[in-house]
């Protein structure tokens, strides 16, 4: 259960750790856009970024260095500074009385830490012991379409291919793509630093580190996190994650097998009612979700819905979402809103 003082508050002291990064900046924009009841904002970052000025709700704030003593009188702490930083500082924040919403992978598979997508398992927030984990971006976007179908038809397994934007690698991924495109346009050689191969005009089937089973860490997250979020221990997912030269928004192709018979019409009815999800599915008019259209959009979108011709009770679909928003900052703020409601 939430600490009693939090449940009685109407305004909250909110810390944002990693505030100068892309997701941290997006968290500030989402907090402001959704009118989250912030009393005091505590902007935190590394020693290198301390002293910088950031804007929030028309005011300017000086970024403070993140330390274990940064969380006195903090009610909610949003973390987006990497797994190592979260492991080091999130427990200190929780010990100081803050509720941590962590965007890294540090606590996602910890059995004592809820892993939450508010539209799917928001009630799990109440089980927290001071830390709540934000799922992987591709997992969130996929489940926004898959879970409503699971609730109606019972998903057994999926085969998925992700097409992930370079912003998923942080600001340096965007910079590398921009620099490579400019270099190629001028007939110059490209430099590769963020990715092992040229990303411009290419597709890299390599997101995160490879494991002994041949999958990458990113590819295993969909199965492992999906089981926890959907409370579905037997859920199976075989994924291939691909980095593509798109700035923002991830796209996922999903082939799903269900325990119950499913029709396209029935699936559309279910998906049309799903919160946080837009149905964009009229191939006769060339209407289907596009990364360009979904960039900077709160909702995810699903389309290309059709019977899977290779599986019994199978369905194929295409789902797209902004991985910085619903895949990270927006989902974290939605979790904070549940914490604030108690």
Question: Contact, 308 vs 262, CB < 8 A?
Answer: no
Pair type for strands 76-79 and 99-102: parallel
Burial of 27 (0-12, 13-18, 19+ CB in 10 A): buried
Q: Are 72 and 96 in contact (CB under 8 A)?
A: yes
Q: Residue 264's CB: how many other CB atoms inside 10 A?
A: 14
* Residue among 139, 174, 208 nearest 21 (CA): 174
Catalytic-labelled residue, pool 128, 150, 241, 250: 250
Tell me the helices (H) and strands (E) count for the chain, helix number first. 10, 14
Nearest to 297 by CA among 314, 265, 322: 322
d(CA 209, CA 206): 8
Between CA 22 and CA 36 the distance in angstroms is: 19
Active-site pick, 137, 150, 241, 300: 137
Other Cβ atoms closer than 10 A to 188: 11
Taking each helix axis as running N to C, give the angle between helix 137-153 and helix 264-273, from 0 to 180 degrees, rounded to the nearest 10. Answer: 120
Q: What is the CA radius of gyration of the chain?
A: 20
The answer to whether 232 and 132 have CB atoms below 8 angstroms apart is no
> In the annotation, is 137 catalytic?
yes
Residue 222 phi, psi (nearest 5): -60, -45
Say how far apart CA 278 and CA 298 lie, in whole Å.
10
Q: Is 250 a catalytic residue?
A: yes
Residues recognised as catalytic: 137, 250
């Amino acid at each position: 259960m939430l600490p009693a003082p939090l449940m009685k508050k109407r305004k909250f002291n909110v810390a944002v750790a990693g505030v100068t990064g892309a997701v941290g900046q997006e968290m500030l924009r989402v907090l402001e856009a959704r009118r989250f009841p912030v009393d005091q904002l505590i902007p935190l970052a590394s020693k290198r970024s301390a002293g910088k000025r950031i804007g929030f709700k028309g005011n300017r704030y000086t970024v403070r260095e993140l330390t274990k003593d940064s969380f006195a009188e903090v009610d909610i702490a949003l973390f987006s500074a990497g797994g190592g930083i979260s492991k080091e500082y999130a427990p200190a924040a929780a010990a100081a009385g803050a509720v941590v919403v962590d965007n890294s992978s540090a606590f996602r598979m910890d059995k004592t830490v809820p892993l939450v997508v508010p539209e799917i398992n928001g009630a799990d927030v109440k089980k927290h012991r001071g830390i709540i984990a934000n799922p992987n971006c591709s997992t969130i976007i996929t489940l926004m379409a898959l879970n409503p179908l699971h609730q109606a038809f019972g998903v057994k397994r999926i085969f998925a291919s992700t097409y992930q934007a370079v912003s998923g690698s942080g600001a340096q991924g965007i910079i590398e793509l921009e620099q490579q495109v400019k270099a190629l346009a001028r007939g110059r050689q490209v430099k590769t630093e963020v990715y092992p191969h040229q990303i411009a005009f290419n597709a890299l089937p390599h997101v995160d580190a490879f494991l002994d089973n041949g999958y990458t860490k990113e590819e295993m997250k969909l199965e492992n996190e999906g089981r926890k979020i959907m409370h579905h221990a037997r859920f199976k997912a075989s994924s291939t994650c691909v980095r593509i030269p798109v700035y923002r928004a991830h796209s996922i192709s999903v082939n799903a097998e269900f325990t119950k018979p499913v029709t396209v019409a029935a699936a559309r009815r279910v998906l049309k009612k799903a919160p946080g999800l837009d149905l964009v599915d009229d191939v006769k008019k060339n209407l289907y979700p596009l990364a360009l259209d979904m960039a900077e959009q709160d909702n995810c979108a699903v389309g290309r819905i059709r019977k899977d011709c290779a599986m019994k009770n199978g369905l194929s679909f295409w789902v797209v979402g902004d991985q910085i928003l619903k895949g990270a900052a927006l989902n974290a703020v939605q979790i904070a809103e549940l914490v604030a409601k108690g």
